[in-house]
Amino acid sequence: MLLLKILWKNAFRNKLRTSLTLLGIMIAILAFGLLRTVIGAWYAGVEASSASRLVTRNAISIIFPLPLSYRDKIRQVEGVKTVSYGTWFGGVYIEEKNFFPNFAVDPETFLDLYPEFVVSPREREAFLDDRKGFIAGRRLVQRFGWKIGDIVTLKGTIFFGNWDFVLRGIYRGREKSTDESQFIFHWNYLNEGLRKRMPYHPWVDQVGYYIIGVTRPEVGPAVAVRVDETFKNSLAETLTETEKAFQQGFVAMSGAIITAIQVVSLVVIVIILAVVANTMAMTTRERIGEYSILKTLGFGRRHIAGLIFGESFVITMLGCLLGMAATFPAAKLFSHTLGSYFPNFNVGAKTLYLDLGAAWVVAASAGIIPALRAIRIRIADGLRRIG
């Protein structure tokens, strides 16, 4: 307890310098934590993927459709339990900035395959019975202030025109990682609308992808091979992969951005190290005379080094804790502003551990050179600096 009291008093002997150092560390840790949270949010879809689900898309690219007739053939493949399908709609609400994920799906099989989307029985039935009905995530509903029964119009960017929907249900995520910002409606409503408005549209009676529920996760790879073999040499060959691999494919498209964020986060650590190292160097230079007196009183090298490293740890860890505390409100503000792009922007335990680990490395590294300098200086040379 006495040692901690000494370290604390030493750390705040020069209050202005220590306060500015703490501010610099806090801002740097805040930036580091937000950057690591962005990376975690980017991979949120991958982490939330189920091992019991496969995704089948066009082998050329997901922007090309697949015939609706594939559904029955996929059902006959050994190991397949449930088959659903969907199409990315790409609509916007009122204006372009109001972007959020919106899909046309086969509603009943979709909800069966995604039990993490929790909807009350009454709202589920209302959604299934209304061809124009849709369900939306809790966060999306809160964002726009929608209520059950509201008519919501989306402006199509792929399927042009205005499309009216009725809110029949609000789902919540069973897990914290579940995306609660999606807009899900009937594929039949989209298909019928295309038949009336654009009967020769290439997406009539076509779907964007199939979602396959397998009997057991371990049979997934074999089922994927069988499905692709079924449609080999057809006009629309397929590529079937696990849901996790499918999500990783989208993340891989942003690989350069993620790499840049990771590099910047490392640069932030270097900045923290420079700030703390500068503070410790100035502190040690001012106290060389004091350390020489301690040596004359019989204190050894490890005692001197302990004082320097201890002060470095007190300053760095305090700044780190302040930065970690500031990360939560900053992440909440960030999520509110860019929630449509990062629906699961939550500060995870891994990010906090990385903050503490980075602070520990910085504290240890910043104290090395000052400690060596204080240990190696001769008592006579140090005493000359007093006054």
Same domain, 30 and 122: no
| For the chain, the helix, strand and coil percentages under 3-state DSSP, each to the nearest 5 | 55, 20, 25
Q: Is the residue at 368 inside a domain? A: yes
In a domain, residue 377? The reply is yes
pLDDT of residue 17: 87
Query: Same domain, yes or no, for 93 and 206?
Result: yes
Chosen domain end from 236, 263, 295: 236
Residue 160 and residue 69 in one domain: yes
Residues 227 and 259 in one domain: no
pLDDT value of residue 273: 84
Same domain? 75 vs 188: yes
357 C-beta neighbours (distance < 10 Å), count: 12
In a domain? residue 250: no
Is residue 53 one of the residues assigned to a domain? Answer: no
Domain end point (choices 207, 236, 265): 236
Range of the domain at 294: 2-44+255-383
Residue 239 CB neighbours (<10 A) = 19
**Shared-domain flag, residues 267 and 319:** yes
Side-chain half-sphere exposure of 5, counting CA atoms within 13 A: 2
Instruction: Find out whether 215 and 379 touch, Cβ atoms under 8 Å.
Output: no
Query: Among residues 181, 205, 236, which one ends one of the domains?
Result: 236
Residue 213 belongs to some domain of the structure: yes
Residues 122 and 150 in one domain: yes
User: For residue 185, which of 168, 202, 201 has the smallest C-alpha distance?
Assistant: 168
Shared domain check, 194 and 99: yes
What span, in angstroms and rounded, lies between the C-alpha atoms of 362 and 32?
13
Q: Verify that 354 and 329 share a domain, yes or no.
A: yes
Claim to verify: residue 291 and residue 155 sit in the same structural domain: no
The answer to whether 117 and 173 are in contact (CB under 8 A) is yes
- pLDDT at residue 111, rounded to an integer: 94
β-pair partners for 67: 206
Residue pLDDT tens, the chain, 387 long? 677 777 788 778 888 888 888 898 999 898 888 888 887 776 665 566 678 899 999 999 888 999 999 999 999 999 999 999 999 998 999 888 888 899 999 999 999 999 999 999 999 999 999 999 999 999 899 989 999 999 999 998 889 889 999 999 999 988 877 888 899 999 999 999 999 988 888 899 999 999 999 999 899 999 999 999 999 999 899 999 988 888 777 666 666 677 787 788 888 888 888 888 888 888 888 777 777 877 887 788 888 888 888 888 889 999 999 999 998 888 888 776 665 566 667 777 888 888 899 889 888 888 888 888 888 777 777 677 654
Q: Identify whether 246 is part of a domain.
A: no
Are 21 and 75 part of one and the same domain?
Answer: no
Same domain for 98 and 166? yes
| Spatial distance between the Cα atoms of 112 and 115, rounded to a whole number of angstroms | 6
Tell me which residue of 93, 55, 53 sits closest to 207, measured CA to CA: 55
Domain count, the chain: 2
Confirm whether 23 is domain-assigned. Answer: yes
Q: Look at residue 180 and tell me if it is in a domain.
A: yes
pLDDT value, residue 93: 93
Written in H, E and C, the secondary structure of 53-114 is EEEEEECCCCCCCEECCHHHHHHCCCCEEEEEEEEECCEEECCCCCECCEEEECHHHHHHHC
Q: Look at residue 300 in the predicted model and tell me its pLDDT.
A: 81
